[in-house]
Structure 1
Amino acid sequence: MHVLRKAILAAACTAGLAAATTPALAQTTLRAVMHSDLKILDPIWTTAYIVRNHGYMIYDTLLAQDEKGVVQPQMVEKYETAPDNKSYTFTLRDGLLWHDGQPVTSEDCIASIKRWAIKDSLGQKMMTFVDSIAAVDAKTFTIKLKEPTGLVLLGLSKPSSNVPFMMPKRVAETDPNKQIKDFTGSGPFVFARDEWKPGDKTVYVKFDKYKPRPEPPSGLAGGKVAKLDRVEWRAISDAQQALNALSKGEIDFVEQPSHDLLGTLKKDPNVDIVASPMLKAQYVFRPNTLHKPFDNPKIRQALWYAFNQEDFLMATVGDENYIQPCKALFICDTPLATTKGMDALLTSNAKKAQELLKDAGYDGTPVVLMHSTDLKALTNLAPVAKSLMEKAGFKVDMQSMDWQTLVARRAKKDPPDAGGWNAFLTAWVTADVMNPVSTAYVNAACDKASFGWPCDAQLEKLRDDFARETDPAKQKAIAEAVQLRVIEYTPEIPLGEYVQPAAMRKNVKGFVIAPVPVFWNMEITK
């Protein structure tokens, strides 16, 4: 049976499709409910976390950060830094294979780095320091810099969206503004494309030829040992229904159980709830700077007075054990956290907001506010924003849609009355928003910036300064300057922090604590 299973998998991959074996051949299947249904499959084209999670199932990374945030080799066997810190040499591990059986090469990695760097905030900044990326041989390549920067190792080990996943050269050469159609990876699981049914399930099967590192797993680093033959992501959007299925043993894992149902879940003797500071996230409001009314920074500034964090946190999470009001742009309890400039802000001072709108000449242009309806952690954000904005004098047109529709629509630059948008709200995990370079919504590089497309030379200069600086004290000062400029320009507004636990059956063992839910090392015991 084992030989037959491998033969079926090899035949599917040779045909160019990462197809699955039949369920009857799988020895161990873990059934999971993720925070969202999977409808988009390119983790470079979008920052959506469900697509990032999909990426970690089937792709691998050159470097990774362990549980302490230390950069470790992953696909590379070793890397060397030149004495002048102006070049890096990377050597791939032996035995790395794509799911179609072809070896992973330096050319694959170079093409993947370049595609990722066009879309990612940190990658874009990293490439401004890069002079060349070139292959030495099939397993070795170099990155040469114009001047020293710490962004190379930080970028290639970036743990969350966008993650620099490695893809075959033929795939990585796809225009980064277009979605890939070939999902051949080299990670521990293979995407069973023929079983993928959006709205029902997504299936992954173990890649028998994956060669894990010898170290134990730590964060997103270490050995990615696939102990499961098959993983099924089941699409259950109703939070109560998902937890009922977990209690009955119909599913094994829930990525984001609703906070208001945790009390009942904790009483279930067959269920474990896992919470960790690594699972902390920050809510943010993202305005679109291209179109009225938020093309005017004075109008955007009124939002700092219209909002307060407590309303958003209580409406979404509601449990004080899992929330933390925090005005720091770069996450409380981390090295760059500061509340400088924030004292009078985020206090729901509607009168002050009204004054600013009047002074800015707001003419009543409606704000098209996109409202995600199917992610419990996000569902109540837009209604709270609408209420607070209307009290401040904004006219708000809240349009409801599922998260994947919102993800597709936010990439459009069209005017709001032609299918575009003015604002939406989302959440970023701690790993994504700890410094000015990796925080996507601080990127103000105009057309190269993330959806919302802020354009501010002052912010970009500060981000450059941060990228060049190695002294932690000076980095802290630059981060404070970035926060003050963010308040003036308003590319985003932080709306508080929360911890999102995961829930699983007690017979599920080996869950790795990391900023991203991963399924290697997990197993189901009897």
Structure 2
Amino acid sequence: MKLKLAFLVATALVAAPSLLMAQEKGGVINVATIGEPPTLDPMTSTADLVGIVTQHIFETLYTFDKTWNVTPLLAESLPEVSDDGKTYTIKLRSDIKFHDGSDMASDDVAASLNRWTKLASRGKQAAGFIESISAADPSTVVIKLKQPYAPLASLLAFNNSAAIIIPAEKQADTMTDFIGTGPYMLKERKADQYIQLARFDGYKARSGESDGYGGARKQYLDEIRFVPVPDANTRVEAAVSGQYDYIDSLPVESFDKLKASTATQPLMLKPFGYPVFVFNTAEGVAKDVEVRKAIRQALNMEDMLAAAFGSTDFYALDGNIYPEPYAWATDIGAEGNYNVADPEGAAEAAKAAGYDGKPVRILTSRQYEFHYKMAQVAAEYLKLAGFQVDMQVVDWATLTQRRADKALWDIYITHSPFLPEPALIGSLSPSSPGWWDTPVRKEAVDAFSAESDPKKRVELWAKVQKAVYDEVPFMKIGDFNAVSAMSTKLQGVDPAPWPYFWNASIKK
């Protein structure tokens, strides 16, 4: 399904880049991230921070090109799909080596995909449709489905809860050896200090030019260091001073300050995605759908966005999960249910639903400062509606751990880029924290996932959005643009939702 919005149209380099010079090998770059990733096993986490780091170490069969189409990575070509849509035959590239020097073969791929369906939330999402995954010969893997499942290739391409390929003998549930096929390999990790990656000299890049996350992945840099810098203001000052080569996730109010710096240039990804409040539908106060609706009724999305992003240069009020001009854009379900901002009516609705005064536990982090600002505004509106509020502010790694425990929270705050395939939205899976698992969800999501006709899928997606508004497993707050920054000495880095540094080099 092609999107109307292309990768590099949706992501704009705001500061005018200097003319590209010939790229040379060598050098080390330091990348400031919002914190320490909770794991380096990307199968077991949906945290963007995990994907940003580990996409350099591990690779998947497919990835996305600059127009968000699925494109081969470790696979030789796109899958050959049988006429009934139930058999995917995947040919593998030859002479691919793991970081330990062993050759990648189909048994590694089949074992990895089976691990993915067992451990990864997105793998579990696909598992119900999968009958078997097997190695047909050393260079061919066959996936047999119980019924057609249109999102499969996109799920295999995604770097979040990723279907990474690792050696067959390294398939333990808890990963201890971080061995992939990527252009860089893990050299050293010092908790809360840095994650150091070194060039893998045995890497075999695809031929041709780079193309979004696809195409050739060129290894100019000797090393990449990811450094956790949890405080947003510290990241801003480090960007202005040129302390780091790339600085991720900066407050939008720093944009003018970054533009004035001679050491760095700001990057704005427009539109980047949407902040989202995810409800715990399994336990606690938010288990009752009528309470969830009352919470939504109380909230003023515009005030939350204004507090988080300041100027409408950086946000837009929009209840549609996908905005125009995405092919998936629809307003079905949103009308009358988005940005209601009626705490008095919400108080009545909560009382009618039997709300008993237990605190609404909001789980958030200041490492993404805009999450915290939205939580503060939400708390005040909820108090006006008669809700008790327990705001739990933790670091991002702790949040990703706590959200896996149904007993610990009622709402957690996160955000998502606009994903190329709606089935990639984690909260649509009943195994994702939030645990939305109702007959309404199953009917809408399964019908959407089984349909292969693009036009029919657009119509079926509208029914999924309606189910989201009817049952409120999560709330989209609005659209926002994201700000990062990079050194004026760094070249070959395209703005992207999950920044990557193959193809990057340092100007000599």
> If the length of structure 2 is used for normalisation, what is the TM-score?
0.90
CA displacement at 1:139 relative to structure 2: 1.9
The corresponding residue for 2:18 is none
CA displacement at 1:174 relative to structure 2: 2.7
The corresponding residue for 1:187 is 182
SS of 2:478's partner is: strand
8 Å contact 1:305–1:353 — kept in the other structure? yes
2:395 aligned with 1:402? yes
- State the alpha-carbon separation in 2 of the partners of residues 239 and 397 from structure 1: 23
2:438 aligned with 1:456? yes
SS of 1:44's partner is: helix
Q: 1:185 to 1:249 in 2, by over 3 A?
A: same
1:188-337 alignment, distance < 5 Å: 188-193=183-188, 196-277=189-270, 280-337=272-329
- State the alpha-carbon separation in 2 of the partners of residues 237 and 218 from structure 1: 31
Q: Structure 1: which amino acid aligns with 2:62?
A: L
SS of 1:518's partner is: coil
Point out the more displaced range, 302-311 or 80-89: 80-89
The corresponding residue for 2:9 is none
Q: 1:237 to 1:123 in 2, by over 3 A?
A: closer
User: Pick from 414, 417, 424: which aligns with 1:429?
Assistant: 417
User: Pick from 326, 343, 349: which aligns with 1:356?
Assistant: 349
SS of 1:58's partner is: coil
SS of 1:369's partner is: strand
- State the alpha-carbon separation in 2 of the partners of residues 39 and 151 from structure 1: 27
Q: 1:99 to 1:325 in 2, by over 3 A?
A: same
- State the alpha-carbon separation in 2 of the partners of residues 377 and 232 from structure 1: 26
- State the alpha-carbon separation in 1 of the partners of residues 380 and 241 from structure 2: 39
CA displacement at 1:60 relative to structure 2: 0.7
8 Å contact 2:241–2:261 — kept in the other structure? no
The corresponding residue for 1:9 is none
CA displacement at 1:203 relative to structure 2: 0.9
The corresponding residue for 1:440 is 426
- For structure 1, list consecutive stretches of 5 or more residues without a partner in the other structure: 1-25
SS of 2:371's partner is: coil
Q: Structure 1: which amino acid aligns with 2:331?
A: T
User: CA RMSD for the aligned pairs?
Assistant: 2.0
CA displacement at 1:268 relative to structure 2: 1.9
- State the alpha-carbon separation in 2 of the partners of residues 84 and 452 from structure 1: 34
The corresponding residue for 2:61 is 62
Q: 1:237 to 1:151 in 2, by over 3 A?
A: closer
CA displacement at 1:389 relative to structure 2: 1.3
- State the alpha-carbon separation in 2 of the partners of residues 372 and 229 from structure 1: 33
2:488 aligned with 1:503? no
Q: Structure 2: which amino acid aligns with 1:63?
A: Y
The corresponding residue for 1:128 is 128
- State the alpha-carbon separation in 1 of the partners of residues 442 and 167 from structure 2: 32
8 Å contact 1:431–1:515 — kept in the other structure? no
Q: Structure 1: which amino acid aligns with 2:357?
A: G
Deviations 1:436-465 (A, max 9, x none): x2211122x3xxx21121220221111111
SS of 1:378's partner is: helix
Q: Structure 2: which amino acid aligns with 1:87?
A: T
- State the alpha-carbon separation in 2 of the partners of residues 387 and 119 from structure 1: 38
- State the alpha-carbon separation in 2 of the partners of residues 245 and 265 from structure 1: 10
The corresponding residue for 1:10 is none
8 Å contact 1:52–1:161 — kept in the other structure? yes
CA displacement at 1:467 relative to structure 2: 1.3
- State the alpha-carbon separation in 1 of the partners of residues 117 and 300 from structure 2: 35
Point out the more displaced range, 120-129 or 180-189: 120-129
The corresponding residue for 1:15 is none
Q: Tell me how many residue pairs correspond in the alignment.
A: 482
8 Å contact 2:232–2:368 — kept in the other structure? no
8 Å contact 1:122–1:151 — kept in the other structure? no
> If the length of structure 1 is used for normalisation, what is the TM-score?
0.87
CA displacement at 1:386 relative to structure 2: 1.2
- For structure 2, list consecutive stretches of 5 or more residues without a partner in the other structure: 1-24
8 Å contact 2:34–2:231 — kept in the other structure? no
Q: Structure 2: which amino acid aligns with 1:460?
A: K
The corresponding residue for 1:519 is 501
Deviations 1:401-437 (A, max 9, x none): 1111111111113x3xxxx2222111011127x52x2
Q: Structure 1: which amino acid aligns with 2:428?
A: V
- State the alpha-carbon separation in 2 of the partners of residues 235 and 64 from structure 1: 26
2:43 aligned with 1:44? yes
Higher RCO (C-alpha under 8 Å, 6+ residues apart): 2
CA displacement at 1:221 relative to structure 2: 0.7
CA displacement at 1:493 relative to structure 2: 0.7
